[in-house]
Amino acid sequence: MTTLGDSLLASGISRRAFLKFCTALTSLMALPPGMAPAVAQALAKAKRPSVIWLSFQECTGCTESLTRTSSPTLENLILDMVSLDYHHTLQAAAGFAAEEAREHAMKEFDGKYLLLVDGSIPTGDGGIYGTWGGESFVDILEQSVKGAAAVVAIGSCASFGGLPKANPNPTGARAVSDLVKNKPVINVPGCPPIAVVMTGVLAHYLTFGRIPELDAQGRPVAFYGETIHDRCYRRPFYDQGKFAKTFDDEGARSGWCLYELGCKGPITHNACATVKWNAGTSFPIQSGHGCLGCSEPDFWDKGSFYKALATTSWGDAATLGAAAAVGVAAGAAAAWMARGRQDRIAKEK
């Protein structure tokens, strides 16, 4: 099997271009830029992995997010580097031919393929709420996991159950990590996840041949290590106590903090505030709407999107104060004041 380095050089890419590509990849993976030479060294030796993508209870938004990325060169190069052997939406084959492709890849790359899953898995009533080819999603997942090197749960549904799991969860929807216990599971939540976060995780596996460092929720620390609030450009207004009270008041027009309008930024771990969306154009808060917390477990069932955090069931004021203290800018005093402010807002509502 040829290495990625060989195939890139064979396609006429100069060493200088390859090094530049690795610099861009290092930035994409949110690694320190000093690691670019190490990335180049590892990537030159990396093998092209087989990827099987299973779609269960999902809306295809995650695939849309991934395939509609607007930086064609880098994303395409990464996608070209993997052998995407099975993907419902993207593959030309259908029916038995499609299932054959999956079974063939599973056999040929046994123990080595990367399994990507979007959507939750309905486990209620024997798993009858989701089937293809007469087999339940539960069974298909179980079969496909057996020979996988690792499983990547793409999106909030696969990571945490997402909308299908929303109360009263009529289909008994579960997250991938609820069902897969004997393989490493990387959660890449978001509704949908940011495209470069998905490709960044793939690139990390591709480059280093192992999964990235994960947090307690199984999310890659490089992308989910900080909250939206920590990196929000409106953060200074939060620290100054300047809040928009309605969506059309002076505060909203002046770009003040959206905390009181229900922004879940302080407890939401994601890269929206730095990576942003649509080729770095903007993100919800920049567009004047609070964060919904879509990359956090059960965000759908935790109270109104438009109520301040302290009045919802996202956690008590003490944990919210702790979340605020994580910010580099906020010292202990600032966090204490912020907690007082949250308590006050909670009482007013």
Partner 1 sequence: MNALDRIGVKVVAAADLPTGNVKALLHELAELLDAWLQRGEVASIDLRSLPLSLGDYEELRAALGEGAVSASVEAIGASEVRESRYPGVWRVTHRNEAGEVVADLIEVCALPEILRAPVEDAAGGLIRLKETLQ
179/137 Cα distance (integer angstroms)? 11
Select from 7, 143, 246, 254 the one that contacts partner 1 (CB under 8 A).
254
Q: How many residues bind partner 1 (CB under 8 A)?
A: 38
Of residues 196 and 335, the one with the C-beta less far from partner 1: 196
Considering the complex, what minimum distance in angstroms separates the CB of residue 248 from partner 1?
A: 8
Taking CB under 8 A as the binding criterion, the range among 48-56, 88-96, 248-256, 303-311 that sits at the site for partner 1 is: 248-256
62-91: b (≥16 Cβ within 10 Å) or e: bbebbeebeeeebbebbbebbebbbbbeee
Taking CB under 8 A as the binding criterion, the range among 103-111, 123-131, 278-286, 316-324 that sits at the site for partner 1 is: 278-286
108/82 Cα distance (integer angstroms)? 15
Of residues 90 and 279, the one with the C-beta less far from partner 1: 279
| Nearest Cα to Cα of residue 51 among 86, 77, 78 | 86
| Nearest Cα to Cα of residue 117 among 43, 47, 173, 46 | 173
Where is 96: in which H helix or E strand?
helix 95-108
CA torsion angle for 6, 50, 82, 53 (degrees, to 10)? Answer: 180
Considering the complex, what minimum distance in angstroms separates the CB of residue 165 from partner 1?
A: 32
272/261 Cα distance (integer angstroms)? 19
Select from 6, 170, 233, 313 the one that contacts partner 1 (CB under 8 A).
233
Taking CB under 8 A as the binding criterion, the range among 19-27, 134-142, 306-314, 317-325 that sits at the site for partner 1 is: 19-27
Alpha carbon separation from 57 to 2, 158, 169, 194, 275 (Å, rounded) = 36, 8, 12, 19, 27
Of residues 58 and 230, the one with the C-beta less far from partner 1: 230
Q: Note whether 128 binds partner 1 by CB under 8 A.
A: no
Pick out residues in 26-85 that bind partner 1 (CB under 8 A). Answer: 26-28, 30, 32-34, 70-74
Taking CB under 8 A as the binding criterion, the range among 96-104, 183-191, 229-237, 330-338 that sits at the site for partner 1 is: 229-237
Q: Note whether 273 binds partner 1 by CB under 8 A.
A: yes
Of residues 174 and 234, the one with the C-beta less far from partner 1: 234
Q: Note whether 131 binds partner 1 by CB under 8 A.
A: no
| Nearest Cα to Cα of residue 116 among 145, 62, 161, 152 | 152
Considering the complex, what minimum distance in angstroms separates the CB of residue 260 from partner 1?
A: 16
Phi, psi of 335 (to 5 degrees): -65, -40
Please answer whether residues 114 and 205 qualify as being in contact, where contact means their C-beta atoms are separated by less than 8 angstroms: yes
Site string for partner 1, 175-194 (x = CB under 8 A): --------------------
Considering the complex, what minimum distance in angstroms separates the CB of residue 44 from partner 1?
A: 10
Give the SS3 label for residue 92: coil
Considering the complex, what minimum distance in angstroms separates the CB of residue 202 from partner 1?
A: 16
The type of residue at 324 is A
Q: Note whether 282 binds partner 1 by CB under 8 A.
A: yes
124/126 Cα distance (integer angstroms)? 6
Taking CB under 8 A as the binding criterion, the range among 12-20, 103-111, 139-147, 156-164 that sits at the site for partner 1 is: 12-20
Select from 6, 7, 17, 103 the one that contacts partner 1 (CB under 8 A).
17
168/164 Cα distance (integer angstroms)? 9
Q: Which residues bind partner 1 (CB under 8 A)?
A: 13-17, 19-21, 23-24, 26-28, 30, 32-34, 70-74, 231-234, 236, 253-256, 273-275, 279-280, 282, 286
